[in-house]
Amino acid sequence: MKCSNKRIFLPDQREQCTPAYLSFSTLSPSQLDTAPVIPEDLLPSTPLNLELLCKKREGPEDEDSARKLCDAILAGESLEDLIPKIVSCSALSAAVRAAARGHVRALHALRLAGAALDAADTNMRTPLMHAVLELGDKDKKGKEKLVVRLLLSRGADASSVDEEGNAAVHWCAAAGAARALVQLLRAAPHATHARNAHADTPLHVAARQGHYACVVILLAQGARNSAGELPADVCTGACHSAISLNMQMTLAMGGHVPRRKLLCSDISNGREAFPIPCVNEVDDEPAPDEFTYVTQHVMPHHLHIDDTVETLQGCECKGGDCSAGAGGGECACVTLSVRRWYARGRLRADFPYHDPPMLFECNHTCACNLKKCANAVVTRARSLGATFVHTEVFRAGGARGLLLSRGADASSVDEEGNAAVHWCAAAGAARALVQLLRAAPHAAHARNAHADTPLHVAARQGHYACVVILLAQGARTDVENSAGELPADVCTGACHSAISLNMQMTLAMGGHVPRRRLLCSDISNGREAFPIPCVNEVDDEPAPDEFTYVTQHVMPHHLHIDDTVETLQGCECKGGDCSAGAGSGECACVTLSVRRWYARGRLRADFPYHDPPMLFECNHTCACNLKKCANAVVTRARSLGATFVHTEVFRAGGARGWGLRATRRVARGSPVAAYCGELLPAARADTRAADHYMFALDVKDDLLEQCVDKTQLCVDAAVYGSAARFMNHSCRPNVAPVRVFTACRDLRLPVVTLFATKDVQPGDELTFDYGDKFWSVKSKWMKCECGAPTCRYPVKADSEEAET
Ligand SMILES: C[S@@+](CC[C@H](N)C(=O)[O-])C[C@H]1O[C@@H](n2cnc3c(N)ncnc32)[C@H](O)[C@@H]1O
């Protein structure tokens, strides 16, 4: 990708200085979503409210009016000329017409004008269906394809059905429009299983029409093949072979579908500190819902439980931590447990798990300090609920191999580099192979001393069942061994057909492999309190490893940063929590921030994210109690690292590369992450070859004047960086960067803190707006792929004409 030397910009401190560089929109994201503004370049005269005009339609509709309207918008006709065409045409028929004709820009204009792109015509067909209907064999028509993409990115409902119960995927399958089918299935994966009035699935339709590419795409997406007349019954030739092989693969895997389905994000219903997701990678069983989750016993009938102070027998280790062992004069509770069984918050190595003693922990009647007491391990853990570690409920399926269930390492290798899966593949032990791969999915890609994968081995030995199991597990067909042989080169017959078909399927999907692969369990390398997994559900790209994860800036060269006590100007709220607002006699730090912007550890609802003020938090020189200070939100969050919520790095696909998404809910106003990297003088940053991760900390001239050193600074997260470096741009973002000053008040060096601007749900990508300044330069080389309905740069600046 070609890039300029323009940087990502922070928002402007407009109250105190004249805007120059900064171009973060002064429109709030919600304004961007609702205002039906027609782009200037689409209309020659003053902005026109097409929505209102479309509503004014009166009298019978002229057959050609929709087409005329589209053509007129495209031709840039004047407002006076457009009005008569608009009033004689409904927005729906114009949208349908534009969709069928592949008029991308007309559709875009209608969408911005407020036309409902999901409205159906008299046959209950939506513009999306019309666009798909126009797609011919082999998906040749470029404009219609663009229309499908535009409609999907603007939120068109891919699962709407017409009067015959056909969804857009049925029409794609009928037309053999393979690429559009991939797009539709990405937008609505469940449409794979949609059934029309004849109970036909898209797989039936594609198979009947003999559209092989569509068949393999639907199979790869998990299309079912066991309803009434089977898809295999309605076809012959290549389609039939593909469907039959898929049936055999499903059988060989014992019905095991390795796709991970998240059935429920927290089976504890919010009762545990660590939510417990429920996933099923095995079958179609829904989440268990026949019980009520509790974190303490419920008593259906009265029971006399003795919880008197006398029975509790609290110890007398006044203010202590009860770390002394059992014996005279030592903690009474530890003595009750016979000896001290805990060390560093865990059971000691010699604890007799086979015949465990009863443990008596210190309790609320003890004289010790329960926060630090060494004999209150479960007592403290109980404050989290009933589950003290991160867990998930999963579908275990049938009985497991004894060894595997006892934790045997399925990925260990012998002296020739063969793992247990290689030996299974060699012996043709299909069932054991399934168990091994469940325990260690990555073993499917293991390579021995000859660079043979288990697929090479199984194929060479002609073990067909093992071959299909390995293929179903995502074993790669394009990996050469040290003799330069692909798995397909070392076999013949059924194994060869299975491997070749799989290669074709991968090609037909454009390399798109929808299986979730965990590439790394913590990309932060243990540096964050919440580990950050890296997953790829899109392609074969390995985890990014070209950078070193840091949670604070690194300085390649010495920089003069002013962190003197004088500049830090601590407040004088002795022992207090600084919760008073700004004003005389109130917390000096809050006053510096103009007003109190935090409430309950988050930014207040009225915080101006589109034009954020600088926030001055209390710091280590303040007189307040930093543990409870209401003005030390980021300061405290920073003790976790640079990422303050649960996230994962994922493959966003397309030009967006990697992205960062939340794996737990994040409330609006919460600090999400700090942008860390190499701290550079701006002049030096400009000389760096790549600018993908460059964040300009630009300070306005009048503020710069107040700094001891007047060098503007930049953060480059390319070589050293925190998770925020993975945040992509969106024109409809859910986080926004704010300058926060914590332990340093050099105005050039805020903590660039990304706050949630709306409630973020698990799975939502975390994105911020890079700003018009960034895109005004970048859009010459790339278009924005954020997919927001109000995307400001959906096409490259210099290719816009070509698109129409
Ligand atoms: C700070 S990085 C974001 C992380 C990056 N995607 C990665 O793979 O590491 C910024 C770069 O990501 C890409 N990018 C981010 N948002 C994008 C968008 N909405 N459309 C296209 N490319 C985007 C651009 O190449 C941009 O220069």
Q: What percent of the chain has pLDDT over 70?
A: 73
Among the residue ranges 323-337, 443-457, 548-562, 602-616, the one predicted with the least confidence is 323-337
Tokens of 656: 């967006």
Q: What percent of the chain has pLDDT over 90?
A: 24
Q: Is the pLDDT of residue 753 over 90?
A: yes
pLDDT at position 522 is 87
Q: How far is the CA of 661 from the centre of ligand 1 (A)?
A: 14
User: pLDDT of 106-119, one tens digit each?
Assistant: 666 666 655 666 66
Gap between the Cα atoms of 112 and 788, Å rounded: 12
Going by alpha carbons, the residue nearest to atom 23 of ligand 1 is 656
Among the residue ranges 205-219, 259-273, 490-504, 628-642, the one predicted with the least confidence is 259-273
User: pLDDT of 437-471, one tens digit each?
Assistant: 877 777 788 888 888 999 999 999 999 888 988 88
Are 183 and 209 spatial neighbours (Cβ–Cβ below 8 Å)? no
Instruction: State the distance between the two ends of the chain, measured CA to CA, in whole angstroms.
Output: 24
Compute the C-alpha angle 214/218/219, nearest 5°. 115
Name residues contacting ligand 1 (CB within 6 A): 1, 655-659, 692-693, 725-726, 728-729, 782, 784-786
Q: Which residue has the higher pLDDT, 665 or 191?
A: 665
Q: Is the pLDDT of residue 581 over 70?
A: no
CATH 1.25.40.20 holds for 409-508: yes
- Helix/strand/coil for 373: coil
Nearest atom (ligand 1) to Cα of 731: 19
Among the residue ranges 15-19, 606-610, 719-723, the one predicted with the least confidence is 15-19
pLDDT at position 77 is 64
Q: Is the pLDDT of residue 776 over 80?
A: yes
Q: Is the pLDDT of residue 214 over 80?
A: yes
**Helices within 298-419 (DSSP H only):** 309-312, 332-336, 377-381, 402-405
pLDDT at position 457 is 94
pLDDT at position 378 is 94
Q: How far is the CA of 594 from the centre of ligand 1 (A)?
A: 34
Q: Which residue has the higher pLDDT, 250 or 412?
A: 412
Mean residue pLDDT of the chain comes to 77
Average pLDDT over residues 642-646: 95
For residue 346, give the DSSP letter: E
User: pLDDT of 331-354, one tens digit each?
Assistant: 888 889 888 899 989 999 899 888
How are the residues of the chain apportioned to helix, strand and coil, as percentages rounded to the nearest 5? 35, 10, 55
Are 361 and 375 spatial neighbours (Cβ–Cβ below 8 Å)? yes
Q: Is the pLDDT of residue 239 over 90?
A: no
pLDDT at position 609 is 93
pLDDT at position 712 is 94
User: pLDDT of 730-740, one tens digit each?
Assistant: 999 999 999 99
Q: How far is the CA of 785 from the centre of ligand 1 (A)?
A: 9
DSSP of 234-298, one letter per residue? G--HHHHHHHHHHHHHHHHTTT-----EEEES-TTTT-SSS---EEESSSS-----SS---SS--
- Helix/strand/coil for 201: coil
Are 609 and 755 spatial neighbours (Cβ–Cβ below 8 Å)? yes
Q: Which of 10, 729, 780 to mutate to test the pocket of ligand 1 (most atoms within 8 A of CB)?
A: 729
ipTM over 0.90: yes
Average pLDDT over residues 542-548: 90
Gap between the Cα atoms of 31 and 371, Å rounded: 48
Gap between the Cα atoms of 316 and 479, Å rounded: 67
Are 162 and 123 spatial neighbours (Cβ–Cβ below 8 Å)? yes
Average pLDDT over residues 583-603: 87
pLDDT at position 632 is 95
Are 487 and 461 spatial neighbours (Cβ–Cβ below 8 Å)? no
pLDDT at position 293 is 75
* Superfamily the domain 534-778 falls into: SET domain (2.170.270.10)
Q: How far is the CA of 659 from the centre of ligand 1 (A)?
A: 8
pLDDT at position 635 is 94
Give the residue from 53, 38, 130, 128 showing the smallest Cα distance to 89. Answer: 53
Gap between the Cα atoms of 713 and 788, Å rounded: 32
- Range picked from 414-418, 499-503, 740-744, 792-796 for highest mean pLDDT: 740-744
Would you kindly state where each structural domain of the chain is located, as residue ranges? 260-288+308-398, 409-508, 534-778
Gap between the Cα atoms of 23 and 793, Å rounded: 15
**pLDDT-derived band of residue 82, with 50, 70 and 90 as boundaries?**
low
pLDDT at position 51 is 46
Q: How far is the CA of 655 from the centre of ligand 1 (A)?
A: 7
Own/partner contacts of 146-149, CB < 8 Å, gap of 24 or more, are: 146/102, 146/104, 146/803, 147/98, 147/99, 147/102, 147/103, 147/104, 147/107, 148/180, 148/183, 148/184, 149/183
| Alpha-carbon distances of 506 from 258, 454, 588, rounded to whole Å | 17, 19, 62
Burial of 236 (0-12, 13-18, 19+ CB in 10 A): exposed
pLDDT at position 451 is 83
Average pLDDT over residues 167-174: 87
Q: Is the pLDDT of residue 742 over 90?
A: yes
- Range picked from 226-230, 445-449, 479-483, 789-793 for highest mean pLDDT: 789-793
Q: How far is the CA of 721 from the centre of ligand 1 (A)?
A: 15
Gap between the Cα atoms of 180 and 217, Å rounded: 11
Tokens of 774: 């960034």
Q: Is the pLDDT of residue 532 over 50?
A: yes
Q: Is the pLDDT of residue 134 over 60?
A: yes
CATH 2.60.40.1190 holds for 260-288+308-398: no
**pLDDT-derived band of residue 543, with 50, 70 and 90 as boundaries?**
very high
Nearest atom (ligand 1) to Cα of 786: 19
Q: Between β-strands 647-651 and 534-536, what pairing exists: parallel, antiparallel or unpaired?
A: parallel
Give the residue from 91, 2, 13, 1 showing the smallest Cα distance to 615. Answer: 13
Nearest atom (ligand 1) to Cα of 693: 1
pLDDT at position 518 is 79
Q: Which of 545, 728, 768 to mutate to test the pocket of ligand 1 (most atoms within 8 A of CB)?
A: 728
pLDDT at position 584 is 54
Q: How far is the CA of 656 from the centre of ligand 1 (A)?
A: 5
User: pLDDT of 31-74, one tens digit each?
Assistant: 322 222 223 333 333 334 444 444 444 344 444 665 666 666 66
- Same topology, domains 260-288+308-398 and 534-778? Answer is yes
